[in-house]
Amino acid sequence: MENFALKVENLVVALDDLTAVRGVSFTIRKGERWGLVGESGAGKSLTALAIMGLLQEGWKTSGAVWHDGINLLQASDKTLSSRRGRTMSMVFQDPTTALNPVAKVGKQITWILRHHMHVSKSEAYAQSLVLLNKMNLPRPESIMDSYPHQLSGGQRQRIMIAMALACYPELIIADEPTTALDVTVQKQVLRLLDAAVTERNCGLLLITHDLPVIAAMCENVAVMYGGRIVEAGAIAEVFTNPRHPYTRGLLASQPTLDNIDLDGGTRLPSIRGAVPPLYAMPEGCAFADRCDFATSKCKELPELDGHTHRVACWNPLTSSVKGA
Amino acid sequence: MSEVLNVAKVKAKRTRKKSRLPLIIGGTITGVMILIGIISVFWIPMDVNVSDPSIRMLPIGTAHHLFGTDYLGRDVSSMLMTGIRTSIIIGSCAAFLALFIGTILGMLAASISKLDEPIMRMADIFMAMPGIIFALVLASTIGAGYLTTIFALTSFFTPAFVRVTRASSMRVLSEDYISVARLYGRGRMFITFRHVLPNISSILIVQFTIYFAAGVLSEAGLSFLGVGINRPSVSLGMMLHEAVEQIGITDPLNVWPGLCIVILVIGLNLLGDGLRDHFDPRFSQRVR
Amino acid sequence: MGRFILRRLVFFVITLLTTSVLIFTLIRAAGGNVAAILLGKNSSYEEIHKLSTELGLERPLPVQYFEWMNNFLHGNLGQAFRSKQLASHLIWTQAPVSVPLSLGGFLLAIIIAIPLGTYAAKNFNKPSGAFVAVISQVGIAVPVFWAGLLLSLVFGVHLHILPTGGWVPWNESIVGALRSLALPVFTLGIVMASTLTRYTRTAILDVMNEDFVRTARASGMSRRVALIKVGLRNASLPLVTVLGLLAAEMVGGTVIIEKVYSLPGISRMILDNVTAREVVVVQSTVMVIVIYVMTVNLIIDLAYGILDPRIRVGK
């Protein structure tokens, strides 16, 4: 048995002649937690959907995604269905629309247990109650009997997480799991997710644009820009010594108490320019026209280079953020 | 998920060429039919009401009578042309009037909340009544004919336009730039015409074609029943009515008017579909 | 749910009342003097006046309205001026024809369209699905009566298996009645099925794009199971709404089909009376038809309330 939960090799996701994900590679070992960071439009969600095999009609993929002994990109819907929810699962962003409005919550959870684990109705019910308890949901019996519209956003998201964890998957992909929630609820939900993942030793791929969340939940991070991973490695390394100009810009633009001048003197640093639209993606490095260190070499596409701390850049930074 | 929306918008721009087919076909068919209708105002092979029993029931392809003659010796091709004209006139008039009245009522309902409830209730009630029944009632009191038919169809179609206009108007009115306009002190009427109307116009155009087609079908049905258009006017439905009454259902004479109706309606429907695809910037509904 | 039912019932009653007023006003106001219409164009002023007083047409309109309503609710639907036949009797004899025809066509349309529409949605990107979509597109364009004419041509005349017209009453022969109904129900069903197929296809495609279908698949449901268990069940909501619209169409279709196949149903009665300008009979008959349609609509709306847990269970 391999020792990884997920191995992505040169994943390309395209729609007709538009390539949204332009060659992404990374490996998540069992129990490892990776954050996937980037602005909207970088290709993060599409990567996740491609891994799960849930892209809509018309989207094509190439490359390989290894999980549970098979290449998911080459697998049939039937093969994928037996893995989805069991060995790999996903938590989506918007809890208001993610649950079936006409079915009771209990039925939606027990279905997963009965389908994958082949347990009896009563056994599934009992296990569901346990799951809901773990999610700190009070009165789980009443929740099992409710319809989604009778519950709050936070409750629904916790149910989604419970559903994702039910079968002890090797990998959980969480796509912006708390973005749509109230700020006060976000932290609770993240804590629960954290505890559950720790308890079950699942691999986690946490997708978000929120850097502090990644820092709190994960050990490793991959930074995406323009459909590619531009930097990847342990958070401790990457966040203190970013080597890609984009990563440095991203970190510098995070509002912290350090760079906020409460008298209104300084401005929050930002990266000049904007993300190029997909149909006008440049040939070489996508960040070149916004980069202060760009050279003529950047017209060629740089590959991810390095061992534990990898970066895709012709002119990677060497000094640490704090110094510069 | 704006990354996907970006891609989707581009896809929409790129694949528009592919899905232009319904628009082209529909537009062509409708255009041809309208042309025939216009021509028929100025020239038809023969007077449609001149009956000549000596040449009755001629088959198609006869000299001077391209589609033959009917049981009274009248030229079928002339009747077809005139019938097409009638269908187009009635269908378009009914749809247009319904559009006009319905849009005004719908926009009023959407912008003035006091009027919303009563207008929508009236619309619901009108929609609950089957259109044919309404037409029949009118026919029994006023008598059948061009105007009655148009009036009946207009009443039948207006509630639908009210619904559509109200829904789209409400959607537009909830946009941010409307609030900005209000802050600038723009009056309600101004906002309605300057901002709401242009934005819902594409939906209205599509609805127009749909109800144009519905009007053609409905008029044909009413004329077939005998309560729509009557002699000396000519209508495709009426032709079938006469055919069934006089010669029974077995005659091939039945085919042509029906075929004309089908072609015209398909043309209009395709046109409507094509226009809807053309106007729809939210291709992203289909794509994730 | 209780509140929903109550509201719906109230709407039902109000609509019926309003419609009755509407019909009444239309007939009286639009047509001019009822007596004049009944007597025809060449009647003299005295004749008209005499009939008017006889029928009580000189009294104020609201009084006449209430009298009509009162009579109606007691089963007295008025009578034809010339033939003196009771309207209620006429309607009673037409019902065994029209009701099975309309309901049969309705049910047939549902039975055909839902599976077909689902199939078209499932295969929307394949030729088989596109084929169904095109066929339904054509079907929508075909006028009901033309379809009837063609079908009776094929089945009745050329193949000789079904009667092309005429009616065998139920009490004479059940099989005979069924045979007389077969082709008409088939025609009505097919025509309504075209529209319904199109709507089903759209409704299912829309639902399949929803987030919760994606969640279901992420939980391990195969495409097929997700379509049926989650998709169809959720699409049933907009579909039920469409069925309500279809009910109105059903009446028009029934009237036309009866004429095509010469069935002695409600259509013949209405048409004859309309052409004869028998306004009194038309008034009551129309009211009956409206009640019929509104009842069907009511049932459909209540079904919707049951299907949608957001209404059924509430907050």
Residue C205 confidence class, pLDDT cut points 50, 70, 90: confident
Contact check, Cβ <8 Å, A97/C211: yes
Mean pLDDT of C257-267: 83
pLDDT at position A107: 93
Chain B residues inside the 8 Å CB shell of C11 = 124
Residue A187 exposure: Cα atoms within 13 Å on the Cβ side: 3
Alpha carbons C57 and C66: distance in angstroms, whole number: 13
pTM, full prediction: 0.81
User: pLDDT tens across C225-245, in order?
Assistant: 998 889 888 988 888 888 887
Alpha carbons C97 and C102: distance in angstroms, whole number: 9
Q: Cα B213 to the chain's mean position, in Å? A: 4
Residue C197 exposure: Cα atoms within 13 Å on the Cβ side: 30
Rounded to a whole number of angstroms, the distance from the CA of A90 to the nearest CA of chain B is 16
Residue with tokens 């108490």: A257
The most confident of the ranges A235-244, A271-280, C108-117 is: C108-117
User: pLDDT tens across A13-22, in order?
Assistant: 998 888 888 8
Q: Does the pLDDT value for residue B118 go beyond 70?
A: yes
pLDDT at position B8: 46
Mean pLDDT of C76-93: 75
Secondary structure of A140-190 in the HEC alphabet? HHHHHCCCHHHCCHHHHHHHHHHHHHCCCCCEEEEECCCCCCCHHHHHHHH
Domain assignment of residue B272, given as a range:
68-283
pLDDT at position C34: 67
Contact check, Cβ <8 Å, C234/A149: no
Residue B42 confidence class, pLDDT cut points 50, 70, 90: confident
What is the layout of strands, in order, in the sheet containing A171-175? A88-91, A171-175, A203-208, A33-37, A220-225, A228-234, A310-311
Contact check, Cβ <8 Å, B132/C273: no
Cα nearest neighbour of C283 on chain B: B137
Radius of gyration over every alpha carbon of chain A, rounded to an integer in angstroms? 21
Cα nearest neighbour of C16 on chain B: B125
Interface of C with A in 113-172 (CB under 8 A): 125
Among B89, B90, B99, CA closest to B159: B99
Q: Cα B118 to the chain's mean position, in Å? A: 27
**Residue, of B252 and A160, whose pLDDT is higher:** A160
Interface of C with A in 198-227 (CB under 8 A): 209-212, 214-223
Range C2-31 burial, b when 16+ CB lie within 10 A, else e: eebeeeeeebbeebbebbbebbbebbbeeb
Chain C residues inside the 8 Å CB shell of B137 = 23, 26-27, 282, 286
Choose among C219, C237, C308: nearest Cβ to A84: C219
Choose among C143, C245, C251: nearest Cβ to B133: C251
Nearest 5°: the CA angle A165, A170, A173 is 65
The three-state secondary structure class of A239 is helix
Pairing status of strand A310-311 against strand A228-234: antiparallel
- Let me know if residue B49 belongs to a domain: no
Chain C residues inside the 8 Å CB shell of B22 = none
Contact check, Cβ <8 Å, B11/A56: no
Longest dimension (CA), chain C: 84
Q: Does the pLDDT value for residue C36 go beyond 50?
A: yes
User: pLDDT tens across A148-178, in order?
Assistant: 999 998 899 999 999 999 999 999 999 999 8
Choose among B142, B220, B265: nearest Cβ to C31: B142
Share of chain C above pLDDT 90, in %: 12
Report how many domains make up chain B.
1
pLDDT at position B11: 43
Chain B residues inside the 8 Å CB shell of A280 = none
Contact check, Cβ <8 Å, C144/B221: yes
Contact check, Cβ <8 Å, B141/C37: yes
Q: Which chains touch B (3 or more CB pairs under 8 A)?
A: A, C
Alpha carbons B86 and B220: distance in angstroms, whole number: 10
**Residue, of B208 and C171, whose pLDDT is higher:** B208
- Let me know if residue B53 belongs to a domain: no
Cα nearest neighbour of B141 on chain C: C31
Contact check, Cβ <8 Å, C313/A150: yes
Q: Picking from A21-30, B32-41, C27-36, C124-133, which range would have the lowest pLDDT averaged per residue?
A: C27-36
Chain C residues inside the 8 Å CB shell of A157 = none
Q: Does the pLDDT value for residue B286 go beyond 50?
A: no
List phi, psi (to 5°) of A5: -90, -30
pLDDT at position A262: 62
Mean pLDDT of B138-149: 78
pLDDT at position B60: 66
Q: Does the pLDDT value for residue A79 go beyond 80?
A: yes
Q: How many CB pairs under 8 A join A and B?
A: 41
Chain C residues inside the 8 Å CB shell of B250 = 153, 157
Mean pLDDT of A224-234: 89
Share of chain A above pLDDT 70, in %: 94
Interface of A with C in 137-166 (CB under 8 A): 147, 149-150, 160, 163
Cα nearest neighbour of A14 on chain B: B7
Residue B282 confidence class, pLDDT cut points 50, 70, 90: very low
User: pLDDT tens across A289-323, in order?
Assistant: 888 888 887 877 778 777 788 888 888 887 654 43
Rounded to a whole number of angstroms, the distance from the CA of A150 to the nearest CA of chain C is 6
Share of chain A above pLDDT 90, in %: 43
ipTM: 0.86
- Let me know if residue B41 belongs to a domain: no
Q: Does the pLDDT value for residue B1 go beyond 70?
A: no
Residue A277 preceded by cis peptide, ω within 30:
no
Pairing status of strand A88-91 against strand A228-234: unpaired
Mean pLDDT of B121-134: 79
- Let me know if residue B42 belongs to a domain: no
Contact check, Cβ <8 Å, B3/A56: no
Among A83, A141, A77, A138, CA closest to A110: A141
Q: Which chains touch C (3 or more CB pairs under 8 A)?
A: A, B
Interface check for A102 against chain C (CB to CB < 8 A): the answer is yes
Contact check, Cβ <8 Å, C150/B237: no
List phi, psi (to 5°) of B49: -105, 5
The most confident of the ranges A59-63, B19-23, B107-111 is: A59-63
Residue with tokens 């719906």: C8
Chain A residues inside the 8 Å CB shell of B10 = 18, 277-279
Q: Does the pLDDT value for residue A324 go beyond 60?
A: no
Contact check, Cβ <8 Å, B11/A16: yes
Q: Does the pLDDT value for residue A123 go beyond 70?
A: yes
- Let me know if residue B28 belongs to a domain: no
- Return the bridge partners of A61, or none: A13
Interface test with chain C among B120, B121, B134, B140, by most C beta carbons within 10 Å = B140
Contact check, Cβ <8 Å, A46/B3: yes
Cβ neighbors of A178 (< 8 A, separation 6 or more) are: A157, A185, A186, A189, A190, A213
Choose among B1, B3, B287: nearest Cβ to A58: B287
Q: C49: which 2 tokens? A: 């006046």
DSSP state of C153: I
What is the layout of strands, in order, in the sheet containing A18-29? A18-29, A4-15, A59-67, A70-71
Q: Does the pLDDT value for residue C261 go beyond 90?
A: no
Q: C140: which 2 tokens? A: 């929508």
Nearest 5°: the CA angle C267, C272, C275 is 120
The most confident of the ranges A29-38, B120-129, B236-245, C66-75 is: A29-38
Q: C43: which 2 tokens? A: 């009647």
User: pLDDT tens across A1-11, in order?
Assistant: 568 889 999 99
Q: What is the CB neighbour count within 10 angstroms for residue C112?
A: 18
pLDDT at position B275: 85
User: pLDDT tens across B53-108, in order?
Assistant: 666 666 666 666 677 777 777 777 888 888 888 889 999 999 999 999 999 898 88
CATH classification at residue B241? 1.10.3720.10
Interface check for A318 against chain B (CB to CB < 8 A): the answer is no
Cβ neighbors of C15 (< 8 A, separation 6 or more) are: B124, B125, B128, C294
pLDDT at position B212: 92
Contact check, Cβ <8 Å, A18/B10: yes
Interface check for B129 against chain A (CB to CB < 8 A): the answer is no
Q: Does the pLDDT value for residue A121 go beyond 70?
A: yes
**What is chain B written as a DSSP string?**
-HHHHHHHHHHHHHHTTGGGHHHHHHHHHHHHHHHHHHHHHH--SS-TT---GGGTTPPTTBTTBTT-B-TTS-BHHHHHHHHHHHHHHHHHHHHHHHHHHHHHHHHHHHH-HHHHHHHHHHHHHHHHS-HHHHHHHHHHHT-SSHHHHHHHHHHHHHHHHHHHHHHHHHHHHTSHHHHHHHHTT--HHHHIIIIIHHHHHHHHHHHHHHHHHHHHHHHHHHHHHTSS--TTS--HHHHHHHHHHHH-TT-GGGHHHHHHHHHHHHHHHHHHHHHHHHH---GGGT--
Interface test with chain C among B25, B120, B137, B260, by most C beta carbons within 10 Å = B137
Q: Which chains touch A (3 or more CB pairs under 8 A)?
A: B, C
Alpha carbons A177 and A214: distance in angstroms, whole number: 12
Q: Report the mean per-residue pLDDT for chain C.
A: 82
pLDDT at position B14: 40
Interface check for A113 against chain C (CB to CB < 8 A): the answer is no
pLDDT at position C37: 66
Residue B285 confidence class, pLDDT cut points 50, 70, 90: very low
